[in-house]
Structure 1
Amino acid sequence: MGDKIEETNKFFESNSTIDTAKEMLGHVLTYNSDQGKLSGVIVETEAYLGPDDQAAHSFGGRHTDANDALYQQGGTIYIYSIHSWLDMDISIQKKGLPNGVLIRGVQPIDGTEIMEENRKKTGFDATNGPAKWIRAFGIYDKALSGTMLNAGDFEFDLKKSRTPKNILETPRIGVPNKGDWTDKKMRFIVEGNPYVSKMYKKDMNLDDYGWL
């Protein structure tokens, strides 16, 4: 377990936050829940660059009990509430540097029927958004916040499962009125993947979902 944690730290601490956000596309998340094994491959992420980033929860060095997970070692889970829904970031960089990557969308692999039942939705709409996939995985509280990936029931495969044909870079979603940070291209998606949030049908690649 110790080696796995060290490898996890290295993955999330060794590169720039933007490069890590891109690299996370194609990696598999697995939650060994009370309902069973639930997993999916990451198709959409957003980078948040800490104290300088007006859209980040740690902007200006803000540090509270609620966002403390962002300040912990790379690979720490940070769960927070947005309009009564939950989102999940992963802390990036070494302890004390509160950067994060929001996981915005996943393409289901294991437990699809359970996910659809949890969401009361079927198809792409079950997991094509940051709060949607959290609900689909049966996560209803912040109990996992502050825990490490690969140290318990929530796992991140350190080896890429699938490779995107192309990664599109866009401004982040839902961060208006943040000065220059509103328009910075720090959202990364697998081009054409139908599990990406806000994806128009005309832009969906239903042949291979945007993977090589």
Structure 2
Amino acid sequence: MDILHKDFYTQPTLDLARSLLGCQLIKETDEGTASGYIVETEAYMGPRDRAAHSFNNLRTKRTEVMFGPAGYVYTYVMHTHCLVNVVSGYTGDPEAVLIRAVEPVTGVDLMYKRRGDKKEKDLTNGPGKLTKALGIIKDDYGGSLDTPPLYITSGYQPDNISQGERIGIGNSGEARTYPWRFWVTGNKFVSR
């Protein structure tokens, strides 16, 4: 599996959200390495997307990395969970793709240790679950996705991809109905 080159991330955000499906998200820690195939994503289209943190070009310490080049890590804490995003779009055009779910590949024992006694399908079937299982933390913010400890490699080409509304953004007006969520059809690790 080859680490994805920076050029991969420069494709339009909606295309990137689809292209990331089947790629492998890998995190190296002192405890060991854990990884999973990306099976669910959501695109956030920046200034024109009421659900995006960068809506109306809102530029804060938290969103700063989104204004830079594509291919970097945007992490943030929502409630008690750290969530991980791939910065997309062009420099100055703050867009991102949320990784919503992965299918465990390596380090499964480590995932169980971090997540507790869960059913296999519940280890990584949500954005907060997968970051805990893989050991992705807020401090991964701003890292380049083409170098360890957090990086993405090639994987497999999904047979079928489904598309629908994003999840958990009920207070974002018309943006809540945009069909910018993508998932590997029939994969048991998709969040819902």
- In which range does the TM-score fall when normalised by the shorter chain? over 0.9
Pairs within 5 Å for 1:147-186: 147-157=143-153, 159=154, 161-186=155-180
**Which residue does the alignment assign to 1:72?**
68
The answer to whether the Cα contact below 8 Å between 1:25 and 1:41 also exists between their aligned partners in 2 is: yes
Match of 1:125 among 122, 127, 140: 122
Give the total of aligned pairs.
Answer: 189
The answer to whether the Cα contact below 8 Å between 2:27 and 2:148 also exists between their aligned partners in 1 is: no
**Which residue does the alignment assign to 1:207?**
none
Shift of 1:153: 1.1
Shift of 1:193: 0.3
TM-score, with structure 1 as normaliser: 0.86
Shift of 1:134: 0.2
The answer to whether the Cα contact below 8 Å between 1:8 and 1:74 also exists between their aligned partners in 2 is: no
Match of 2:99 among 96, 99, 103: 103
Shift of 1:73: 1.2
Gaps of 5+ in 2: none
Change (3 A) 1:126 1:33: same
Larger Rg: 1
Q: Distance in 1 between matches of 2:45 and 2:87?
A: 10
What per-residue deviation string (whole Å, max 9, x for no partner) do you get for residues 10-30 of structure 1? Answer: 1111x2110110010000111
Q: Distance in 2 between matches of 1:96 and 1:184?
A: 23
TM-score, with structure 2 as normaliser: 0.94
**Which residue does the alignment assign to 2:109?**
113
Among all aligned residue pairs of Structure 1 and Structure 2, give the percentage whose two residues are the same amino acid: 37
Change (3 A) 1:94 1:9: farther
- Greater relative contact order: 1 or 2 (C-alpha under 8 angstroms, separation 6 or more)? 2
Q: Distance in 2 between matches of 1:22 and 1:167?
A: 8
What per-residue deviation string (whole Å, max 9, x for no partner) do you get for residues 42-65 of structure 1? Answer: 000000000000000000010101
What per-residue deviation string (whole Å, max 9, x for no partner) do you get for residues 91-141 of structure 1? Answer: 0022211000000000011000110110112301000000000000123x4
Gaps of 5+ in 1: 199-212
The answer to whether the Cα contact below 8 Å between 1:29 and 1:156 also exists between their aligned partners in 2 is: yes
